Structure 1
Amino acid sequence: MVEDIPVSRIVVESGSMGRVAYARMAPNEDLVQGVEKLCLAEGFKNAFVRGALGSLVDACLGTLDGQCQHVVGPAVEIVSLAGEVRSNDDGSLCASLSGVVADTQGNVYGGPFVAGSNPICMTFEVTLEEWLPGQTAN
């Protein structure tokens, strides 16, 4: 059964793309928090993930029932990564990242990455593109 999305939850936003940042994140840094730190360092208030390459020590992916699916490494490979970073009203940033990972036996898992639970294995490269929302009419 497909649930109808209430009109009040639909948001359409116009804007433009800004700068691009390509960075390498260090071992044992958390994937989600590292992307947030990268945006802070570059002055991005909002951004989209445009590409990524690397592996995690272990992975923790959120499930529909609010639990965490733990994928044991070492070297859980990230097959794909997508997501965005948005600024909160207080100026803090929140990354919402989802992806597909493969364990050492080749089994694949997908879902949202849980912040604080996805340490980078050796290195991790990520490309972010700044999003500049347009002015809203009052």
Structure 2
Amino acid sequence: MQSEVRLVEAGQMGRVAYARVAPNEDVVLSIEKLCAAEGFRHAFVRGALGSLVDACFVAPGGGTRQVRGPAVEIVSLAGEVRQQADGSLRAAITGIVADTEGHVHGGPFVAGANPVCVTFEVTLEEWLPSAA
């Protein structure tokens, strides 16, 4: 079996930003705001730590799936932020959380529906795509 490599997008990594998000701020929207504040047009979420009041994921089939807290712990978080054609920033964030009983849930987070509980810290790395 022969491996095939396809170049999707050429570019290089830029600056790194570390930030703390305040309680009751939405995780996804806060990541977009942080990128805008730092002037990142494109970025990768490299790490995160914290808890949410509740978590809300996009469910298979297009609905949503709610995980009730309080204090839903973030186990893992990854994603990217991309500048849209209109200049706005859009974050696509996927994560895994543990609920108050220790059950694990995951998927893409719904923007505007994942408020920080006590604290949330995130590392963002700027992506600088090469001109085509």
TM over 0.5: yes
Residues 1:58 and 2:92 aligned together: no
Moved over 2 A (4+): none
**Aligned counterpart, 2:129:** 133
Q: Which amino acid aligns with 1:122?
A: V
Correspondences of 1:48-127 after superposition (within 5 Å): 48-127=44-123
Count of residue pairs the alignment pairs up = 127
Q: Which amino acid aligns with 1:57?
A: V
Q: Which amino acid aligns with 2:77?
A: L
**Aligned counterpart, 1:35:** 31
For the residue of structure 1 that corresponds to 2:29, the secondary structure is helix
Task: Pick from 40, 64, 68 the counterpart of residue 44 of structure 1.
Answer: 40
Aligned partners of 2:29, 2:95: CA distance in 1, in Å? Answer: 15
> Shift of residue 37 of structure 1?
0.2
Aligned partners of 1:134, 1:25: CA distance in 2, in Å? Answer: 31
Aligned partners of 2:109, 2:95: CA distance in 1, in Å? Answer: 7
The change in CA–CA distance for 1:104 and 1:67 in structure 2 (over 3 A counts) is same
Task: Pick from 14, 19, 22 the counterpart of residue 18 of structure 1.
Answer: 14
For structure 1, the 5+ residue unaligned runs are: 1-9
**Aligned counterpart, 2:3:** none
Aligned partners of 2:53, 2:16: CA distance in 1, in Å? Answer: 27
State the TM-score, normalizing by the size of structure 2. 0.94
Aligned partners of 2:54, 2:85: CA distance in 1, in Å? Answer: 32
